[in-house]
Amino acid sequence: MRRMNSFREKMRASPVYARVAPFVIFILLTVAQSMFGDAGQYWVYIAKSLVGAWLIWEMRGLVPEMRWNFSTEAFAIGVAVLIMWIGIDGLYPHLSADRKPPNPYLQFGEHSPLATLAIVGHILGMTLIVPPLEEVFFRSFLYRYFVRTDFENMPLNRFHPTSFIVTSVIFGFEHNEWLSGILCGFAFQWLVINKNRLGDAIAAHAITNFLLGLWIVCSRQWHFW
């Protein structure tokens, strides 16, 4: 409880901490997934998503730009990024080409309730938890912090070419499909600049991830996970 209160105090005291710490915690939990074996990784993902939901709850009053905004542009960008992500797959080498893709049907059985739970949990996590945490860190904090350390005083609609490229490249290499990630970063950052708010990028990211999750399950293209 004392550590939790200390975490909350640091979040309230520092705009940087409020945007960076939740993302770092989430990334560390992502790295930890591989430490729990083939079956354990699915439950760690669900646990990680629950922790992510708590982190977003703690951020809600401290990160005012973290508000969802559904717009025509957000929907269009979300669908376009999905098509791009799938369309250029196989045209460039991935970071971990020999990575064993997770397959819940193979792990738990084709009609197993555990497989269904793992799939639903993964889609919910990638749709509702990942977009706010990543967009706050990359498109709101990192993009502006590269330009000025008092990043809150930089409007979201300011275009800075170097930060635009560098932030998107870093975001891209967070993903196994690095080229798709870079192009995705360009699209979401453009949306933030165009709308002068973060919420449209959060919504677009969620649309992409949700539709990608459905595609993965329907096409059995598990390597996208």
pLDDT digits (tens, 9 = 90+) for 105-136: 989 988 899 999 999 999 999 999 999 999 99
**Average per-residue pLDDT for the chain:** 94
Query: Which pair of tokens denotes residue 160?
Result: 């800075």
- Please report, rounded to a whole number, the percentage of residues in the chain having pLDDT higher than 90: 81
pLDDT at 122: 95
pLDDT at 187 over 90: yes
For residues 78 and 187, the answer to whether their CB atoms sit within 8 Å is no
Q: How far apart are CA 130 and CA 126, in angstroms?
A: 5
Q: How far apart are CA 52 and CA 54, in angstroms?
A: 5
Each domain of the chain, given as residue ranges in start order, spans 66-224
Query: Which pair of tokens denotes residue 138?
Result: 């990359």
pLDDT at 212 over 90: yes
pLDDT digits (tens, 9 = 90+) for 6-63: 888 898 999 999 999 999 999 999 988 878 778 888 999 999 999 999 999 999 999 9
